[in-house]
Amino acid sequence: MPSSATHLIRLARWGVTLARRRALVGIENDPNAPAALRQLVRLARLATLTGKSGPRDYAGAFRAIGPAAIKLGQSLATRPDLVGEEAANNLLSLQDSLPPVPFAQIRAVIESSFGQPLENLFSEIDPEPVGAASIAQVHRGVTTDGRKVAIKVLRPGIREKFARDIQTYEWAAAHVEAMGGEASRLRPRLTIANFKRWTNSELDLRREAASASELAEQMAGVPGYRIPTIDWDRTNGRVMTIEWIDGIKISRVDELRARGHDLAAISEKLVISFLTQAISAGFFHADMHQGNLFVEDDGTIVAIDFGIMGRIDRRARQWLAEILYGLTTGNYQRVAEIHFEAQYVPSYHSVGEFATALRAVGEPMRGKPVKELSVGQMLDGLFAITRDFDMQTQPHLLLLQKTMVMVEGIATQLNPDINMWDTAAPYVREWIRDELGPEAALADRLKQDAETLLRLPGLIRRVEEMFPPKGGAPEPPPLPEIPLITDRREGRGWLGYLLAGSVGAGAAWGALAMGWIG
């Protein structure tokens, strides 16, 4: 574990980079930020002789710090409550791209990880990558049996670099959270813990391949959406081989339109596929940006890059579905009740007051296409509510929030007139009916009772293990409790016993000398 001095040196170096690009001015001006933190960032700015006025380049600062910071910056782009709306909007432009690693190093990684020459695995491989990101880069290739594939390879030494930087993020987050107040409510330590878990998944390509395989199973029955096939024989922790996709990137709207695709239908299909993953399966692709989605000739959407995946348990999905449906129908009272049931809002607040606050944010959005909504105003309203009602950040929902923002952005680009609420409402309503209706409640109760009955034999066996039957030996008689010399319950330590022993020995010697005992 690095020392505090090591963390401070790293933070000072990063702080200088951030300060020079005025990326800390937002914290310095935020009245909700801890006073000590504001003073620190002010010192960093003054040390670099940088004024407050001028452009603030948040994305450039994170890019200059390094690969782990790029990933962290992309995560913080979904946290305007933590970094401010201006910083979050700027960080949305942060592209996860770096200069490629020379192919000789990529070849060495492939050959060392498989323990055999590259030619035994691939008949062709393009030395020029089709993409080079902070964690890995991707090359186009052909397997020895003639299949076109994409080969994703980790950058050499990237695991060690991420581990080092994340340790400093954890150290810094702990100290910021210890400042209390708003910093404690926003739970930066849990934010970094989630970030660590996400990046650890990305740094093990076997887990990414497993995620792709699991998502393919979950979405097998959804028409118009699919996942490429994994080549498990050519996949390990540092290399992943996956089916090559010949399609058009979903961001190329003009090209999609020229090919005759129905953009409104694709937009709706994207929203429904996301809701299917998040609400029905509870397992969703959490990096659905434009570069990771393709459209094939028949209109099928194909997703790639499964390093970041999200999970939501069944109860949380039920709450989420009810919240979404309540917002679409204007049932703010039920939405407020769910927040209290889920313990997102402390019980000492009023449900009715929280419902009224939700109405103030929700009503201006209902019935309008996304292009007419001010996302900034909506976020300002939501974050004001969380602060006013002492709502702690829910880190398990951060990936969902991030993905919803991405999906909304792509859907709007495809169809500016799409109404996200109207698109989502029929699906959510049907899911609620299936999952929360009387038939579902009865089925759940039968399942739970059956599982309880099946656990009874094991429970009885464990009770018998704790209280075994008596053997052939007779019961031992009760033994008196003898205080031990090491027993300090009465406040006597070794010094007391030594003193008492010395006094006793002296008294016995004196009695012998006087002839009182013989």
- Distance, CA of 83 to CA of 30 (rounded, Å): 10
DSSP state of 131: E
**Residue 467 structure tokens:** 């209280």
Q: Locate tokens 């694709």: which residue? A: 266
Distance separating alpha carbons of residues 53 and 458, to the nearest angstrom = 69
Closest C-alpha to 107, from 95, 96, 122: 122
Assigned token pair, 169: 């993020």
CA distance 224 to 226: 7
Distance (Å, rounded) from C-alpha 142 to C-alpha 130? 14
Q: Which of 405, 426, 403 is closest to 272 using CA atoms?
A: 426
Q: Indicate the pairing of strand 239-243 with strand 148-154.
A: antiparallel
481: its two tokens: 């409790």
SS3 175: helix
**Length reported for the chain:** 518
DSSP SS3 for 181:
coil
Catalytic residue among 287, 313, 388, 417: 287
438 CB contacts (<8 Å, ≥6 apart)? Answer: none
Place of tokens 């300002």: 380
* Cα R_g (the chain), whole angstroms: 31
Active site residue 254: no
From CA 398, how far away is CA 381, in angstroms rounded? 18
Q: Which among 199, 346, 215 is positioned nearest to 273, based on CA atoms?
A: 215
CA torsion 207-145-126-148 (nearest 10°) is -70
Is residue 140 within 8 Å of 126, Cβ to Cβ?
yes
* Interatomic CA distance for residues 399 and 401, integer angstroms: 5
Alpha-carbon distance of 306 to 215, in angstroms, equals 9
CA-CA distance, 454 to 135, in Å (whole number)?
47
- Contacts (Cβ under 8 Å, ≥6 apart) of 453: none
How is residue 36 written in tokens? 């000590």
C-alpha–C-alpha distance, residues 139 and 152, integer Å:
7
Which residue matches tokens 């490429």?
228
Q: How far apart are CA 315 and CA 78, in angstroms?
A: 24
The residues carrying an active-site annotation are: 287
